Structure 1
Amino acid sequence: MNRVRKNTACRSCQRNGRITCRRTRHGDLCLKTGPGECAEMLKRARAAFQSGRTANECFRLAQLDAVMRLVFEHECDFVDALARDLHKPRFETVVSELILVKNEAVYAINNLRKWMEPQRVERNLSTALDECMVVSEPLGTVLVLGSWANPVQLCLVPLIGAMAAGNCVVISPSEHCAHTAELLHRLLPSYLDNECYHIVLAGTNDISEMVELKFDYVFFSGTREEGTKVSLAAARSLTPVTLVLSGKNPCYVDQTCDINTTARRIAWARFHNGGQSVASPDYVLCHADVKERLLQALRCALLIFYGSDPRESRSYGHLVNMENFSRVRDLLWRSGKVVMGGQVNEAEKYVAPTLLSDVSETDPVMHQEYFGPILPVLTVESVDEAISFINKRDKPLCVYAYSSNNKVISRLMNETSSGSFCSNDSVLQSLMPCLPFGGVGQSGMGSFHGRYSFDIFSHKKSCLLRGTRIECLTYLRYPPYDDRNLSLMTWASSLTQKSQGWCQIL
């Protein structure tokens, strides 16, 4: 492990007389790892899993603690890397990346023993002399494919769930956040067991080939296009997957809400991280009576957040690469009417936080998948129209509703289908260890965070522990078959509605 160097700690730590950060030496860029090297890592990880070392509770706890120390001791390094990759402000890096990882690790450490315990099945007449339980056993060696939108969180949070469940893990960070990927590549071997946990720097074009190496599970977060490729590759080897995919997250605003608070919360959720988040609201369905007030409140919120020139703001991020910049710029020019923002700078991959009005359902911004700081505002006449609008489209990852009317909130929650739902705020439901986060339909499959991460990386094995003391009854099932025995078993099965199926004793 690297030693702490006092002269490389961040200034705030030096002022407070504490050294809470340390930097690693920035060397040459790490070379990409091809599928061949990944196959070798998979072989080593399988051997480590077969040795049984990850089955031990103390081993899992030690690795979880190491992840916590990793993010705590290298906070400054992660801030620097994400600033280079995404122009991400320090505040956003600490709050939405590092603290979230720490919370997940603490939650797992505090609950691991309970999660690992066999789940006893309630006894009934048929199991009065038996013991039935569900045992959580690790799947084996799993692959975690990270996303560039939250390159630390979406690598380390699934890692925490997988290691808590007792798996060996191979992580592949997104190549689009090269500095963050290289930092993880350099740091992880210094903290985690080098046989059980590996990191590869693979290109996007290598993902399908990596998935086909036959891992025991694959976790992927990213775009639907990439998720489709992962799913197809996994299907060829019958590998189960969790997919957390982006889409169009609707946000309904009615005339009863607190407009100023609503505008601040929507603006923060949509434009943090430069608008590059799978959980942020993608468009607003606004009641016609409050459209102008909402647009004005959104303009005021953006001025307060980022100033008159967000390009100069230290609180505003930029787009990850030229491909994403070009896509967002083209959508901006081909959709609706710009109410605020719209400025772009290709050299800096900068797109100003932009509000769009007069948007049509057929505009490209309402159909094409993108990550960027654009918020279309459409009008509806009622909650019924909003629900109909949402339900005509693919099931989103998130649905948001802003209203002081509980009946409106209940209708949006119960009459639409989505991976998650949040009322009178946005994004927060995707950050809590106690809540599952994942998609449904076109927005993905499976969910993670906390216990739900432990569960997706575990096989729930049903176990029946039975003795031989009831052979005087079980003989009825043996050949040669007899009509009298069949009559007895049929009669017993007819009692299942009243007696919980005691004929299962056979």
Structure 2
Amino acid sequence: MDPFEETLRRLKESFNTGKTKPAKFRAEQLQSLGRFLQDNNKQLHDALAGDLGKLTKLSSAFIRKEPFGLVLIIAPWNYPLNLMIMPLVGAIAAGNCVVLKPSEISKNTEKVLAERLPQYLDQSCFAVVLGGPEETGQLLKHKFDYIFFTGSPRVGKIVMAAAAEHLTPVTLELGGKNPCYVDDSCDPQTVANCVAWFRYFNAGQTCVAPDYILCSQEMQERLVPALQNAITRFYGDNPQTSPNLGRIINQKHFKRLQGLLGCGRVAIGGQSDEGERYIAPTVLADVQETEAVMQEEIFGPILPLVTVRSLDETVELINRREKPLALYAFSKRSQVVKQVLARTSSGSFCGNDGFMHMTLSSLPFGGVGSSGMGRYHGKFSFDTFSNQRACLLSCPGMEELNDLRYPPYSPRNQQLLKWVLGSQSCTIL
């Protein structure tokens, strides 16, 4: 029997109740921790002396942000320029040398980056390398000081395993199935306009796009005609001829998406054209959680509607799945949005809007759990590519004061140390 199973189960269940989240609970626990240190001062002192022969030591410090060194940035195909340049800006600002690996799937952008970008950067510090999965695997065998990867969770695991061979830190910007909860209080057309815009933007090939809608049966019936109205307004009566609707990146992904069109009931769209790699803006109604379209990130212009009976059921469904990169909630009642925010976990959260949080450089962007790790955008990009080096500088000429910390520790010196440390921050070493 696993000796840790019961303890881990108990702690996970407590976390899921939200017990640790209120500020009052956190403050109480920190106060209790402080009492532990105070009440058990002698026992801890004796234990440290018995184990290591060490005392408490006064220190002061500052942080120096330094470049890691040689950084590898692996970009995806869905936004092949933006998701290459944005992390590159942070890596350059932090002072690193960079190897850039664009996606071979977005071959036209890859070609321009490989041919043109080196003409603008110092080639002794920056390089663009090309290749597919085999070449990328070979590249990952080399030791880098930091790796920044944007892509699927499946490939993210490969990158992380390769980085572990060299104990290389990583930022993984992955994906997942982003839920979108629509409360009954909403105006369906307002929600439909927003959701249709950021679901079908770039033909749905966006990592933060809503992957499925959770709503009541009544809201589904109101939302479907509103979504049809929004799609027609954005892309016309025949979206295939619209210059504002993108195409699927390649035949492999087209076939994958075509196979998902049989899930649920096609309420809007459903048409496809393999020659053009076109899939119509599609809404699938009455989708079951067990269907294929709910088992993987869609990454295409298909929007499933899953009916739920309550907010509690919504939260329970979201929480039993992997943590998403983004989570959306629509409601005219602010307490509903706040409940969804408080009772779930995701890389980012947006209430009553689309992915506008992505445009704010003051907000960090990144995932949690299977949707990724690490943050960037704005100053967070600089911090991501910087080693936060802890530094201590002591002033010369303070040797007489330093004598207090040197053994032997007389009763007088111990009293002086306790007095000093009683009014100063300290680190237990």
TM-score, normalised on structure 2? Answer: 0.83
Match 1:453 to one of 346, 356, 381: 381
What is the aligned partner in structure 1 of residue 278 from structure 2? 350
- The answer to which of 484-493 and 319-328 deviates more is 484-493
Structure 1 residue 182 and structure 2 residue 111: aligned? yes
Equivalent residue for 2:172, pick from 231, 239, 243: 243
- 1:429 to partner: Cα distance: 1.1
Q: CA RMSD in A?
A: 2.1
Match of 1:435 in 2: 363
Distance of 1:156 and 1:180 partners within structure 2:
12
- 1:228-267 equivalent positions in 2, closer than 5 A: 228-267=157-196
Compared CA separation, residues 467 and 318, structure 1 to 2 (3 A): same
Q: Indicate which of 484, 489, 504 corresponds to 2:411.
A: 484
The Cα shift of 1:489 comes to 6.9
Change (3 A) 1:488 1:417: same
Per the alignment, residue 287 of structure 1 pairs with 216
Structure 1 stretches lacking a partner, 5+ long: 1-125
Checking the alignment, whether the CA contact within 8 Å between 2:404 and 2:417 is kept in structure 1 is no
Match of 1:143 in 2: 72
Q: Which runs of at least 4 in structure 1 moved beyond 4 Å after TM superposition?
A: none
Task: State the Cα distance separating 1:462 from its structure 2 match.
Answer: 1.6
Distance in 2 separating the partners of 1:492 and 1:501: 12
Q: Any unmatched runs of 5+ in structure 2?
A: 1-57
Corresponding position of 2:133: 204
Matched-pair contact (CA < 8 Å) for 2:176–2:297: yes
1:221-252 C-alpha deviation (Å, 9 max, x unpaired):
11111111111111111111100111000000
Q: Distance in 2 between matches of 1:485 and 1:184?
A: 69
Equivalent residue of 1:437, what SS? coil
Percentage of identical aligned residues: 46
CA distance in 2, matches of 1:301, 1:401: 19
Which residue of structure 2 aligns with residue 360 of structure 1? 288
Specify which of 294, 300, 310 is matched with residue 239 of structure 2.
Answer: 310
Deviation of 1:309 (Å)? 1.8
Distance 1:346 1:296 in 2: 27
Q: Distance in 2 between matches of 1:375 and 1:467?
A: 64
- Measure the CA separation in 1 of the matches of 2:350 and 2:133: 32
Q: What aligned pairs does 1:44-193 form with structure 2 within 5 A after superposition?
A: 132-193=61-122
1:492, 1:501 within 8 Å by CA — same for their partners in 2?
no
Give the distance between the partners of 2:154 and 2:179, measured in 1 at CA: 20
Aligned mate of 1:400, from 311, 325, 328: 328
Instruction: Provide closer, same or farther for how the CA distance between residues 287 and 489 of structure 1 changes in structure 2, counting only shifts above 3 A.
Output: farther
SS of the residue aligned with 1:448?
A: coil
1:416 to 333, 344, 357: 344
Determine the structure 2 residue equivalent to 1:500. Answer: 424
> Residue 372 of structure 1: which of 296, 300, 312 is its match?
300
8 Å contact from structure 2 (residues 220, 285) kept in 1: no
Deviation sequence 1:240-267 (CA, Å, 0-9, x none)? 1100111000000011222212101101
Aligned residue in 2 for 1:323: 252
1:379-418 CA-partner distances (Å, limit 9, x unpaired): 1222222111111111000000111111111111111100
**CA distance in structure 2 between the partners assigned to 1:421 and 1:391 by the alignment:** 14
What is the letter of the counterpart of residue 440 of structure 1?
V
Query: Could you tell me which residue of structure 1 aligns to residue 390 of structure 2?
Result: 462
The number of aligned residues is: 373
- Determine the C-alpha separation between the residues in 2 that align with 1:188 and 1:154: 15
In structure 1, what residue type is equivalent to 2:314?
A
Per the alignment, do residues 174 and 273 of structure 1 end up closer, same or farther by CA in structure 2, a change over 3 Å counting? same
Output the amino acid matched with 1:378.
V
